[in-house]
Structure 1
């Protein structure tokens, strides 16, 4: 990390970072870990969680625009989390918290069931080499975990610049009974709450189309 990021980690971490009981790995979450969002944020408000928040551009922007919502950024790279804290501090953001942990374990262990109003997965690692595709986040097991974490009526939003991964995401979520499509046609409209990030600009420069998806957990 840069000097500024190291300083942010040390000086802002107490305000923004959630303490996490660990299992064996450094970014794991202990099975008996659990937070109460109302205690963490000091109120009851809809919770939006971004998985793989990177440097935090999307979630800091959204948290500033929606002060009536609570936000949680999930990331394993400290430099990105530190940058997120720096930007949030400069913008005076009070409704954002961060967690350094593996996303599926956050959804399964740290957060209560049905706690999330919206779950964002924007530009996850595509693992585009054929021998690596099994490492992709959006697999049937993840869909089941996400369905448990979302409240009835909650929305899972996804975006990627890799067409083959977009098709895989759609196939996985179409096949999961926890979700129904929240869009018409082949792809969802671009989510207007998603700012353009470096990952999206890189994909566009390479000539790749951006594809959005949105799935809802049925209210019933």
Structure 2
């Protein structure tokens, strides 16, 4: 995760912390290239960059009413991948607004193609590091729901520092969520599920929205390839849900 801060002396040429992804280069298909050229002006939010191509410059907050053209509940998915979950949600909930955050351009192109076919014009996309979107692009307390479904588990011990859900992430997420807003998470890696629960249980700005060890499966989460793969190899899918506590 990266939580970009303003430089203290001179320009920075690197991020302060590791991010939760490795941005591998890959060519898009002709259909994806065409989708980007034709649909990006409709769907993609172009954000001012800081030190990296996926960073967000501090002080770049958008006006959601201007971007979506109305006042409506805003739901944000981190790591939207191919967009299956958020396109389904956006097309089935036309009265809500949606934002997909992803760093892989091919996935965003596929998301735009599917959104256009489904007529989901209440969806926007941003190609960026998610914590910086929450901290610098979205106004404080502007998000009604934040989804983190099957983030990279970074299961090797030497890589766990790259995991998205940390105490710093909880702080940034709390800043973006309105009072009473929901943070929903799911993973098929047990130790990451335990880490998520420990982090959020200790976060002063969140309270659990479930009883017992785990939350029931979120009905708004469609079955994706990640979930099928985890189930196929015998991993249990664990959901968690937390409510943003009221600001004092």
State the TM-score, normalizing by the size of structure 2: 0.88
Deviations 1:72-102 (A, max 9, x none): 0000000000000000001111100000000
Q: Distance in 2 between matches of 1:179 and 1:46?
A: 19
Correspondence 1:99 to 2:126: yes
Q: Distance in 2 between matches of 1:63 and 1:57?
A: 10
Structure 1 runs of 4+ with >4 Å offset? none
Which residue pairs with 1:185 in the alignment?
212
Alignment of 1:63-212 (within 5 A): 63-212=90-239
Deviations 1:172-206 (A, max 9, x none): 00000000000000000000000011111111111
User: What are structure 1's unaligned runs of at least 5 residues?
Assistant: none
Which residue pairs with 2:19 in the alignment?
none
Which residue pairs with 1:35 in the alignment?
62
Deviation at 1:24, TM superposition (A): 1.6
State the TM-score, normalizing by the size of structure 1: 0.99
Deviation at 1:218, TM superposition (A): 1.9
Deviations 1:19-51 (A, max 9, x none): 110012011100121100011000000000000
Correspondence 1:50 to 2:77: yes
User: What are structure 2's unaligned runs of at least 5 residues?
Assistant: 1-27
Deviation at 1:219, TM superposition (A): 3.3
Which residue pairs with 2:18 in the alignment?
none
Q: Distance in 2 between matches of 1:61 and 1:186?
A: 28
Q: Distance in 1 between matches of 2:233 and 2:78?
A: 24
Q: Distance in 1 between matches of 2:246 and 2:180?
A: 5
Deviations 1:97-131 (A, max 9, x none): 00000000000000000000000000000000010
Total equivalences in the alignment: 220
Which residue pairs with 2:9 in the alignment?
none
Q: Over aligned residues, Cα RMSD in angstroms? A: 0.6
